A = this chain, B = another copy of it.
Amino acid sequence: MEKDHAAGQLEEEQWVQELLALSEQEQVTPKQLSILRAAIDVFAEKGFSAAATSEIAQKAGVAEGTIFRYYKTKKDLLLAIVVPTMSRMIAPFVLRNFSGVLDVPFESYEAFLRAFMINRLDFVRRNLKIVKILIQEIPFQPALKEQLVQNIFEQVLARVTTITEHFKQQGEIIDAPTPAIIRFTISAIIGYLLVRLLLMPDHHWNDEEEIEQTLRFILHGIGGAG
Protein backbone atom coordinates (compact mmCIF):
# COMPACT_ATOMS: atom_id res chain seq x y z
CA MET A 1 0.00 0.00 0.00
CA GLU A 2 2.94 2.31 0.32
CA LYS A 3 3.70 2.02 -3.32
CA ASP A 4 1.40 4.72 -4.53
CA HIS A 5 3.12 7.97 -3.98
CA ALA A 6 0.06 10.15 -4.14
CA ALA A 7 0.25 11.58 -0.66
CA GLY A 8 -2.15 14.19 0.52
CA GLN A 9 -4.16 15.34 3.43
CA LEU A 10 -6.75 12.67 2.97
CA GLU A 11 -4.23 9.94 2.62
CA GLU A 12 -2.36 11.01 5.71
CA GLU A 13 -5.55 10.82 7.63
CA GLN A 14 -6.26 7.35 6.40
CA TRP A 15 -2.79 6.55 7.40
CA VAL A 16 -3.46 7.69 10.90
CA GLN A 17 -6.32 5.30 11.01
CA GLU A 18 -4.27 2.42 9.76
CA LEU A 19 -1.64 3.40 12.20
CA LEU A 20 -3.80 2.53 15.10
CA ALA A 21 -6.40 0.22 13.69
CA LEU A 22 -4.02 -2.09 11.94
CA SER A 23 -0.70 -1.90 13.62
CA GLU A 24 -2.06 -1.89 17.12
CA GLN A 25 -5.04 -4.13 16.56
CA GLU A 26 -7.05 -1.75 18.67
CA GLN A 27 -10.54 -0.47 18.13
CA VAL A 28 -10.41 3.22 17.31
CA THR A 29 -13.69 5.05 17.65
CA PRO A 30 -14.38 7.99 15.38
CA LYS A 31 -14.12 10.27 18.40
CA GLN A 32 -10.76 8.87 19.31
CA LEU A 33 -9.64 9.31 15.74
CA SER A 34 -10.58 12.96 15.68
CA ILE A 35 -8.74 13.45 18.95
CA LEU A 36 -5.63 11.93 17.44
CA ARG A 37 -5.93 14.03 14.32
CA ALA A 38 -6.37 17.20 16.31
CA ALA A 39 -3.54 16.31 18.66
CA ILE A 40 -1.19 15.71 15.75
CA ASP A 41 -2.04 19.12 14.34
CA VAL A 42 -1.66 20.98 17.61
CA PHE A 43 1.45 19.16 18.78
CA ALA A 44 3.12 19.76 15.44
CA GLU A 45 2.16 23.40 15.40
CA LYS A 46 2.90 24.43 18.98
CA GLY A 47 5.09 21.71 20.37
CA PHE A 48 4.02 19.27 23.01
CA SER A 49 4.50 21.44 26.08
CA ALA A 50 2.90 24.49 24.59
CA ALA A 51 -0.07 22.55 23.24
CA ALA A 52 -3.24 22.86 25.28
CA THR A 53 -5.51 19.86 25.67
CA SER A 54 -8.40 22.29 25.53
CA GLU A 55 -7.37 23.35 22.05
CA ILE A 56 -7.04 19.75 20.98
CA ALA A 57 -10.49 19.01 22.35
CA GLN A 58 -11.95 21.99 20.56
CA LYS A 59 -10.32 21.12 17.26
CA ALA A 60 -11.45 17.53 17.66
CA GLY A 61 -14.99 18.60 18.41
CA VAL A 62 -15.14 16.72 21.70
CA ALA A 63 -15.37 17.74 25.31
CA GLU A 64 -12.18 18.36 27.24
CA GLY A 65 -12.87 15.46 29.50
CA THR A 66 -13.29 13.04 26.61
CA ILE A 67 -9.61 13.13 25.79
CA PHE A 68 -8.86 11.78 29.22
CA ARG A 69 -11.24 8.89 28.81
CA TYR A 70 -9.01 7.56 26.06
CA TYR A 71 -5.65 8.77 27.27
CA LYS A 72 -5.00 9.03 30.94
CA THR A 73 -2.62 11.96 30.56
CA LYS A 74 -1.48 14.38 27.92
CA LYS A 75 1.76 12.48 27.69
CA ASP A 76 -0.09 9.26 27.00
CA LEU A 77 -1.76 10.98 24.10
CA LEU A 78 1.62 11.97 22.76
CA LEU A 79 2.95 8.46 23.06
CA ALA A 80 -0.15 7.00 21.44
CA ILE A 81 0.67 9.12 18.41
CA VAL A 82 4.37 8.81 18.30
CA VAL A 83 5.24 5.31 19.40
CA PRO A 84 3.41 3.41 16.65
CA THR A 85 4.89 5.74 14.07
CA MET A 86 8.33 5.07 15.41
CA SER A 87 7.65 1.41 15.06
CA ARG A 88 6.46 1.80 11.52
CA MET A 89 9.43 3.96 10.68
CA ILE A 90 11.83 1.18 11.42
CA ALA A 91 9.47 -1.60 10.45
CA PRO A 92 11.30 -2.40 7.20
CA PHE A 93 14.35 -3.27 9.22
CA VAL A 94 12.54 -5.33 11.75
CA LEU A 95 9.96 -7.28 9.84
CA ARG A 96 11.58 -10.10 8.03
CA ASN A 97 9.63 -10.14 4.82
CA PHE A 98 8.61 -6.52 4.58
CA SER A 99 7.41 -5.76 1.10
CA GLY A 100 10.41 -5.69 -1.08
CA VAL A 101 12.88 -3.63 0.79
CA LEU A 102 15.34 -5.77 2.59
CA ASP A 103 15.14 -9.46 2.37
CA VAL A 104 14.35 -9.83 -1.22
CA PRO A 105 17.78 -10.23 -2.77
CA PHE A 106 18.60 -6.92 -4.41
CA GLU A 107 20.71 -7.00 -7.49
CA SER A 108 22.94 -4.35 -6.04
CA TYR A 109 23.60 -2.04 -3.12
CA GLU A 110 22.50 0.81 -5.30
CA ALA A 111 19.17 -0.83 -5.98
CA PHE A 112 18.77 -1.44 -2.29
CA LEU A 113 19.46 2.20 -1.43
CA ARG A 114 17.15 3.39 -4.15
CA ALA A 115 14.30 1.26 -2.92
CA PHE A 116 15.00 2.39 0.60
CA MET A 117 15.01 6.08 -0.24
CA ILE A 118 11.83 5.92 -2.26
CA ASN A 119 10.15 3.90 0.40
CA ARG A 120 11.13 6.11 3.33
CA LEU A 121 10.55 9.36 1.47
CA ASP A 122 7.05 8.15 0.92
CA PHE A 123 6.65 7.20 4.54
CA VAL A 124 7.91 10.47 5.96
CA ARG A 125 5.81 12.41 3.51
CA ARG A 126 2.72 10.62 4.72
CA ASN A 127 3.60 11.05 8.37
CA LEU A 128 5.22 14.41 8.20
CA LYS A 129 3.62 15.99 11.23
CA ILE A 130 4.12 12.95 13.38
CA VAL A 131 7.75 12.73 12.38
CA LYS A 132 8.16 16.37 13.31
CA ILE A 133 6.64 15.71 16.71
CA LEU A 134 8.79 12.65 17.15
CA ILE A 135 12.00 14.53 16.42
CA GLN A 136 10.96 17.36 18.70
CA GLU A 137 10.03 15.25 21.66
CA ILE A 138 12.63 12.50 21.66
CA PRO A 139 15.07 14.57 23.72
CA PHE A 140 12.48 15.18 26.43
CA GLN A 141 10.67 11.88 26.64
CA PRO A 142 12.81 9.17 28.21
CA ALA A 143 10.23 6.61 27.14
CA LEU A 144 10.81 7.57 23.52
CA LYS A 145 14.55 7.76 23.88
CA GLU A 146 14.64 4.28 25.31
CA GLN A 147 12.51 2.88 22.53
CA LEU A 148 14.68 4.59 20.00
CA VAL A 149 17.88 3.25 21.46
CA GLN A 150 16.53 -0.24 21.80
CA ASN A 151 15.05 -0.31 18.34
CA ILE A 152 17.57 1.58 16.36
CA PHE A 153 20.71 0.49 18.08
CA GLU A 154 19.79 -3.03 18.79
CA GLN A 155 17.70 -3.97 15.82
CA VAL A 156 18.09 -1.59 12.94
CA LEU A 157 21.80 -1.17 13.21
CA ALA A 158 22.37 -4.88 13.44
CA ARG A 159 20.31 -5.45 10.35
CA VAL A 160 21.85 -2.66 8.34
CA THR A 161 25.27 -3.82 9.36
CA THR A 162 24.55 -7.27 8.00
CA ILE A 163 23.36 -5.89 4.71
CA THR A 164 26.23 -3.48 4.40
CA GLU A 165 28.81 -6.11 5.07
CA HIS A 166 27.15 -8.42 2.62
CA PHE A 167 27.69 -5.91 -0.16
CA LYS A 168 31.13 -5.07 1.13
CA GLN A 169 32.12 -8.66 0.68
CA GLN A 170 30.72 -8.54 -2.80
CA GLY A 171 33.05 -5.65 -3.55
CA GLU A 172 30.26 -3.19 -4.14
CA ILE A 173 31.28 -1.14 -1.14
CA ILE A 174 34.79 -0.12 -0.26
CA ASP A 175 36.53 -1.58 2.71
CA ALA A 176 35.94 1.17 5.24
CA PRO A 177 34.58 0.83 8.79
CA THR A 178 30.98 -0.23 8.54
CA PRO A 179 29.65 2.25 11.19
CA ALA A 180 31.18 5.12 9.27
CA ILE A 181 29.69 3.87 6.03
CA ILE A 182 26.27 3.54 7.56
CA ARG A 183 26.44 6.91 9.22
CA PHE A 184 27.49 8.57 6.00
CA THR A 185 24.86 6.86 3.91
CA ILE A 186 22.04 7.59 6.31
CA SER A 187 23.19 11.18 6.69
CA ALA A 188 22.97 11.73 2.98
CA ILE A 189 19.54 10.16 2.79
CA ILE A 190 18.09 11.91 5.80
CA GLY A 191 19.70 15.12 4.65
CA TYR A 192 17.71 14.87 1.45
CA LEU A 193 14.50 13.97 3.24
CA LEU A 194 14.76 16.91 5.62
CA VAL A 195 15.56 19.48 2.97
CA ARG A 196 12.92 18.01 0.70
CA LEU A 197 10.10 17.81 3.22
CA LEU A 198 10.85 20.21 6.05
CA LEU A 199 13.14 22.98 4.89
CA MET A 200 11.91 23.54 1.37
CA PRO A 201 8.63 21.66 0.98
CA ASP A 202 7.29 24.23 -1.45
CA HIS A 203 10.17 24.07 -3.86
CA HIS A 204 9.37 22.16 -7.01
CA TRP A 205 11.20 18.87 -6.69
CA ASN A 206 11.94 16.20 -9.23
CA ASP A 207 12.22 13.44 -6.71
CA GLU A 208 13.35 10.70 -9.07
CA GLU A 209 16.22 12.76 -10.36
CA GLU A 210 17.25 14.00 -6.93
CA ILE A 211 17.26 10.50 -5.59
CA GLU A 212 19.43 9.31 -8.46
CA GLN A 213 21.78 12.23 -7.91
CA THR A 214 22.02 11.49 -4.22
CA LEU A 215 22.73 7.83 -4.94
CA ARG A 216 25.56 8.78 -7.31
CA PHE A 217 26.98 11.05 -4.62
CA ILE A 218 26.82 8.32 -2.02
CA LEU A 219 28.50 5.81 -4.25
CA HIS A 220 31.02 7.95 -6.10
CA GLY A 221 31.30 11.17 -4.18
CA ILE A 222 31.56 14.63 -5.59
CA GLY A 223 35.29 14.64 -6.30
CA GLY A 224 36.36 15.55 -9.86
CA ALA A 225 38.25 13.28 -12.15
CA GLY A 226 41.65 14.61 -11.03
Do residues A171 and B226 form an inter-chain contact, with CB atoms below 8 A?
A: yes
Q: Mark A123-160, 1 if CB is under 8 A from B, else 0.
A: 00000000010001001100000000000000000000
* A87 vs chain B, min Cβ distance (A): 20
Interface stretch, picked from A10-18, A31-39, A43-51, A95-103, is A43-51
Cα-based distance from A140 to B49 in the complex (angstroms)? 12
Residues on B with beta carbons closer than 8 Å to the beta carbon of A48:
49
Chain B CB within 10 Å, residue with most, of A191, A219, A225: A191
Do residues B221 and A219 form an inter-chain contact, with CB atoms below 8 A?
A: yes
Do residues A172 and B140 form an inter-chain contact, with CB atoms below 8 A?
A: no
Interface residues on chain A, number (Cβ under 8 Å): 44
Cα-based distance from A140 to B146 in the complex (angstroms)? 25
Within 8 A of B (CB), among A180-201: 180-181, 183-188, 190-192, 195
Cα-based distance from A173 to B225 in the complex (angstroms)? 8
Cα-based distance from A176 to B215 in the complex (angstroms)? 13
Confirm or deny: A72 has a beta carbon within 8 angstroms of a beta carbon on chain B. no
Cα-based distance from A173 to B222 in the complex (angstroms)? 6
- Chain B minimum-CB-distance residue to A175: B224
Cα-based distance from A186 to B223 in the complex (angstroms)? 15
Cα-based distance from A132 to B185 in the complex (angstroms)? 23
Chain B CB within 10 Å, residue with most, of A109, A132, A214, A221: A221
Do residues B180 and A217 form an inter-chain contact, with CB atoms below 8 A?
A: yes
Confirm or deny: A207 has a beta carbon within 8 angstroms of a beta carbon on chain B. no
Cα-based distance from A195 to B157 in the complex (angstroms)? 14
- Chain B minimum-CB-distance residue to A172: B224
Residues on B with beta carbons closer than 8 Å to the beta carbon of A172:
223-224, 226
Do residues A139 and B136 form an inter-chain contact, with CB atoms below 8 A?
A: yes
Q: Which of B170, B214, B223 contacts A219 (CB 8 A)?
A: B223
Q: Which of B181, B185, B221 contacts A218 (CB 8 A)?
A: B221
- Chain B minimum-CB-distance residue to A194: B187
Confirm or deny: A174 has a beta carbon within 8 angstroms of a beta carbon on chain B. yes
Cα-based distance from A188 to B97 in the complex (angstroms)? 30
Which residues of A come within 8 Å of B, CB atoms? 46-50, 109, 132, 136, 139-140, 168, 170-174, 176-177, 180-181, 183-188, 190-192, 195, 210, 213-214, 216-226
